[in-house]
Amino acid sequence: MTELTGEITRFVGVDLGQQRDYTAISVTERALLPTGRYRREAYYDWDAQTNRSRLVEEGKPEYRVRHLERPPLGTSYVVVVERILELLESLGDRELVLAVDTTGVGRPVADMLKAHLKKWLETRPRTELTTAWITITGGDSVTKAEGGGLRVPKRDLASAPLVLMQNGQLKIAAEMPLAETLRKELLNFKVKINISTAHDSYEAWREGDHDDLVLSVALACWAGERTRPRGAEVFSFPY
């Protein structure tokens, strides 16, 4: 399908596994598809030094999972951090979003990754990296975590890829070796709501090795849905 022109945003999702859990890393790109709907937007014309307005076509986001990987069980966090930096480097994008689940590993691992990211960015002044450090909770709303980062309800993370998949907005590249595994995880990733308590329970949430890939993609999708698409303002017509 034809895309709106403009840069595609890529989201890197990282589920940092504990000693007996896999770590999963995914790359999901968000493209904007034309909808035929337009909205009027005000802007400042610097050449004419005056305020103007234009019609801007609204885009419908489509998410495409392009890369999946699982380092072997027992891989040290130092090696995992190096792999994340290697992946970011290979993408070569000037703008990237990195969403990391730090629930199980704690602040020391997150701080190590942050320190390495800081050094990496110092050598790449033109790269803009947006990060989301996420602690998964059973609450009902997103809140700030102590020491930085966000506390995100399981419900929010789980619903992100499931809703996109239901709406036909989540695509999985078939040529990836782990594509079929991800599809199975998505199908098994069912949300149950206890009507009497309004609390959520998840059949495949941190139970065995059947949710690490889907969680890494969920992190990317959740971050994507909370980040305004910058490519939405392309087919515009000044007035």
Q: For 10-34, write each residue's pLDDT tens digit.
A: 999 999 987 778 899 999 999 988 8
Calpha distance 205→221 (Å, rounded): 17
Per-residue pLDDT tens digits for 122-153:
998 889 899 999 988 887 888 888 777 888 98
Calpha distance 89→151 (Å, rounded): 28
Mean pLDDT of 173-186: 91
Mean pLDDT of 30-58: 83
Distances (CA, A) of 159 to 137, 144, 200: 14, 20, 11
pTM over 0.85: no
The mean-pLDDT minimum among 5-19, 38-52, 162-176, 222-236 falls in 222-236
The answer to whether the beta carbons of residues 232 and 60 sit under 8 Å apart is: no
Calpha distance 184→63 (Å, rounded): 18
Element (H, E) at 54: strand 50-69
Per-residue pLDDT tens digits for 182-201:
998 888 776 655 555 556 66
Calpha distance 161→233 (Å, rounded): 25
Mean pLDDT (the chain, rounded): 82
Domains of the chain: 9-231 (3.30.420.240)
**Could you tell me if residue 213 is left (phi over 0), alpha (psi between -120 and 50 degrees) or otherwise beta?**
alpha
R_g of the chain computed on alpha carbons? 19
| pLDDT above 70: percentage of residues in the chain | 82
Burial of 64 (0-12, 13-18, 19+ CB in 10 A): middle
